[in-house]
Amino acid sequence: MDYKEAKKILLKKVETVGIENCHILDCHKRVLASDLITKLDVPNFEKSPLDGFCFRAWDTKNASVDSPLEFEIIDEVPCGFVSNKKIGAMQSIKILTGAKLPEGADCVCKYEDTEFNEKTVKIFRPFESGENIIHIGEDIKKGVLFAKKGDIVDYGIVGISASLGIEKLEVYKKLKVGIISTGTELVEVGNDLIDGKIYNSNRYVLESILKNLNMDLTYFGIVKDDINKLEEVYKNAIENSDIVISTGGVSVGDYDLINSTFKRLGFEIIVDSLEIKPGMACLIADSHKKLIFALSGNPMSAITSFYAVCLPVIKKMMGYTDYENKKIKVILKNSYNNKSGMNRFLRCKIYQEGEKNFAIINDKQGNIMLNSMIGCNGFVMVEKKTEAREGMVLDALLIS
């Protein structure tokens, strides 16, 4: 199946997970489930941005270096306190950074620009009304939409929420993702490598990508090529996850048992292969509205089909409104002849010069060549039986 068609079918099929109220300190990288609108002005009073003296600007109109004006100091107001005195003609109040502006004052002069003692302060220039004042709503205006449903909660949203007194946010629940590695040949990292075995890299690649999205991951381990054991683990994984991702066992060899396992479990197979290279070997099934992505055991095949089809579906389930991979136009810096009868996703390094994006196609594009992903931030898409030449403009998917 064409990967775009497969993705379209799956996106129509899935729904977002449930919604919960979450403390703002636990919301980092969670997806907002509702719009956020400011319910008050921040700040909600005029205040000083510096340590100094406040007074009436009108009274300073004749002040100069040669003829400074002397103001009576009638009070002192630290941050967090409010003066109960009203400033009159030629009067001043000592004010600290962040303190509320006293009644009657409309400007502030910093300490360094004055001469003062306990009773009086000298001002050496005229001031404008509103000078050196943080005004009501200067940071945030009441009634303003400051974050939308589908936005990812970052420190800015957390900070604004806190400044508005919002303790909890309505966010989508964390997606529960089950990860399975299949193959008798696999050995977990940390164990000795026995002759004929390989380390299980796919688990670590997938978890590294998914952890960046802030979800609940459960690893169900390595499962040997035994249909009874496979059936047991997949059944357990689907019962305890919102979505399951596995690697290995999806080709047509004697020990590729995932198709048979899915049939025994009664899963509805939606996709039995994808029309892309690498990543063609791929099974996608449905079990009571829960999806199972069975990806190739070849690392680059698994990663390619994961980005092309699986990741946008996961993001939609998490509540992302912008769940598609970002597509941009790039100018090729080197050539690649796609002799295959399938469209290819070529690992590349995308960079910008001026207003143009360029892509360098990595030399090694084999299904098992993980080292070609180092520094890779995109895939250039080259149609089947096409020679992509240096200087051509092609579509590319940005990845992170």
Run of H or E residues at 8: helix 3-13
- In CATH, what number does 52-123 get? 2.170.190.11
Q: Which alpha helices (DSSP H) does 212-343 contain, by range?
A: 227-239, 258-265, 299-305, 311-318
Provide the CATH number for the domain formed by 327-398 in this structure.
Answer: 2.40.340.10
pLDDT in tens, 221-258: 999 999 999 999 999 999 999 999 999 989 877 667 99
Q: Where along the chain do its domains lie?
A: 3-16+174-318, 23-41+143-172, 52-123, 327-398
DSSP state of 301: H
Domain 3-16+174-318: homologous superfamily in CATH: MoaB/Mog-like domain (3.40.980.10)
Cis peptide before 43 (omega within 30 of 0): yes
Can you read off the two tokens belonging to residue 40?
């008050």
Given this model, what pLDDT does residue 40 score? Answer: 92
Those residues with Cβ within 8 angstroms of residue 301's Cβ, 6 or more apart along the chain or in another chain: 278, 279, 280, 281, 282, 295, 367
pLDDT at 370: 65
Q: What is the pLDDT of residue 242?
A: 96
Whole-number pLDDT of residue 369: 60
Give the architecture-level CATH label for domain 23-41+143-172.
Alpha-Beta Complex (3.90)
Q: What is the model's pTM?
A: 0.83
Q: In the chain, which residues have pLDDT < 70? A: 254-255, 365-372
Read out DSSP for 153-218?
Answer: P-HHHHHHHHHTT--EEEEEPPPEEEEEEE-TTEE-TTS---TT-EE--HHHHHHHHHHTT--EEE
CB count within 10 Å of CB 141 equals: 13
